[in-house]
Amino acid sequence: MLTSGGTEAANLAVTGVARAAGHRRHVVVAAVEHNAVLAPARALAASGFEVTEVGVDHTGRVDPAELAAVVRDDTLLVCLQHANHEVGTVQPVREAASAAHDHGALLFVDACQTVGRLPVDTTELGADLLAASGHKCYGPPGTGFLVASGQARLRPVLLGDERERRRRAGMENLPGVAAMAAAVAARVAEAPAEHHRLARLGERLRAGLAAIPDVIVHGHPSERLPQLVAFSVLYVEGEALLLLLDAEGIAVHSGSSCTADSQEPSHVLAAMGAITHGSVRVSFLRDATDAEVDRLLEVLPAAVAELREMADLDSQAMERAYRERR
């Protein structure tokens, strides 16, 4: 089904499956899902479904055994992202599929972060439904799709005609779809080579960050997206750090780009038990270079020191004081 993006695809998966549900009234979601999954799941909870949220460890990864333990015979749908949008941790999707299918439930995989970056094969993943977004593959914004297997019965969210076999009404954005298809094909073709190059850049950045005092690098050490490095800088406001880096010509994200205006801390970092303030997310573009990583590592320590100085706080001196008094 062609949609207006990953958000609509995820909404259609969660809400559409629920609308076609019979006696199954239980839905399982990971606590670190994107809000495009969590929000419709919570709407289901308000309309009589039971929704179970499964937590994650400090790397942001769901424990497959913990997930399997909450799936029941009346579970309709299990939602597990392929990789997390804020910290890049890759989830145990294959194991989640087994857990869901053992009880006759469907698995929905939000693959917005992985299509065009990691190998994505719905059969291999065991996904009954899978959502992706065009713009994440450098396609046009406002394009996306939902793949549904023959097992996945769903009713439309958008009503009005019989398009997409009565599952999604409305004229498709055909120029956008053509551009998305070209972008996805190009990304899939270049992904294997890009993966190694970006993973190496990511390794270098992570190692460099570890040398800055009180910087906490997030995510799983090995099971993660190659192009994303997320970290929190203790005692510093993320937005302020962004402005200093921006003045140096470096564009990074603070926290979750979609919820930057909200005063609520990131639900992903909170679920991980990680520091939520001072959070920065570096996403490498396809043409990212070693020189860009060098530049960030050159500029960042001074920017962090400047902001801590403004707060009249010397974190290294405090750390020394703790050690001496121990």
Partner 1 sequence: MTTTTVDCLGLSCPIPVVRLAKAVAAIEVGGVVELLADDPGARVDIPVWCRLKDQELLAQHDRPGGGWVFRVRRAR
Distance in Å, CB of 54 to partner 1, minimum: 19
Where do we find the tokens 């020191």? 305
Going through the chain in order, the beta strands assigned E by DSSP cover: 2-3, 26-30, 50-54, 75-79, 106-110, 129-133, 144-148, 215-217, 228-233, 253-254, 279-283
Packing angle between helix 238-247 and helix 290-310, nearest 10 degrees? 130
Full DSSP string of 120-159: --HHHHT-SEEEEESGGGT--TT-EEEEE-TT-----SS-
Distance in Å, CB of 288 to partner 1, minimum: 29
Do 27 and 41 touch, CB atoms closer than 8 A? Answer: yes
Q: Which CB, 47 or 263, lies closer to partner 1?
A: 263
Q: Which CB, 20 or 216, lies closer to partner 1?
A: 216
Judged on CB neighbours under 10 Å (0-12, 13-18, 19+), 131 is buried
Any catalytic annotation for residue 137? no
User: φ and ψ at 2, to 5 degrees?
Assistant: -90, 135
Distance in Å, CB of 245 to partner 1, minimum: 17
The one catalytic residue in 79, 112, 137, 258 is: 258
Q: Which CB, 162 or 312, lies closer to partner 1?
A: 312
Q: Which CB, 179 or 313, lies closer to partner 1?
A: 313
Distance CA 13, CA 31 (A): 17
Distance in Å, CB of 310 to partner 1, minimum: 10
Positions touching partner 1 (CB under 8 A) are 216, 234-237, 263-265, 269-270, 273-278, 311, 313, 315, 318, 321-323, 325-326
Q: Give the residue numbers marked as catalytic.
A: 258
